[in-house]
Amino acid sequence: MRQFLATFALLFAPILVQARPTVYSQFDTTISPGGTETSRGAAFVAAIQATPGTETDIYLQEAVYLLDNPVVIDRTTPLFVHGINRMGVFLVAMDPTLDMFRIDAAPLVNFAGVRFQPTKNTSPSSITSVGSVALRTVNTAPTIVEIQDSFLD
């Protein structure tokens, strides 16, 4: 029984105890709402894919962020992406036929206050948006995914 508990603790301790930001002053706010949709999207993706542990809490201002998808999340630390307002922070997929976000590895991924739009770049008569995926997990280790106060269009 002791060996089982030790194994359980080693496997699941990283998931059960996650460091969470407690105030918004802990978030990275350097992604400017200025510039183009593409430049904002590139800055956002760069922050997600930064050296693990450097950009774990990202705060997005009101703007459209055009993402060169799929945005791959592959990290050993939790990721928190919070928008200032779910009615004004748009995460738009550049290619609606591909996954918008793909989680390869992460103990915790938390999105809050954003609007996912994986199909915005399709014409209304197009069927390419059928099967569009906003978030796909392909990880082999346990991952917690939280989506709070957000829209999926």
Q: Give the pLDDT score at 150.
A: 94
> Which residue matches tokens 């894919």?
49
Q: What's the rounded Cα separation, in Å, for the pair 21 and 42?
A: 24
Model pLDDT for residues 57-87, shown as the tens digit of each residue: 999 999 999 999 999 999 888 999 999 999 9
pTM: 0.81
Task: Indicate left, alpha or beta for 31 from its phi (over 0: left) and psi (-120 to 50: alpha).
Answer: beta
> What band does 24 get if pLDDT is binned at 50, 70 and 90?
confident
Q: Give the pLDDT score at 50.
A: 81
Q: What's the rounded Cα separation, in Å, for the pair 25 and 28?
A: 8
Average confidence (pLDDT) over 87-98: 93
Q: Give the pLDDT score at 112.
A: 96
Q: Is the pLDDT of residue 98 over 80?
A: yes
Average confidence (pLDDT) over 36-64: 87
More confident residue, 56 or 58: 58
- Helix, strand or coil, per DSSP, at residue 5: helix
Residue 63, CA distances (Å) to 26, 31, 40, 83 in order: 21, 10, 8, 10
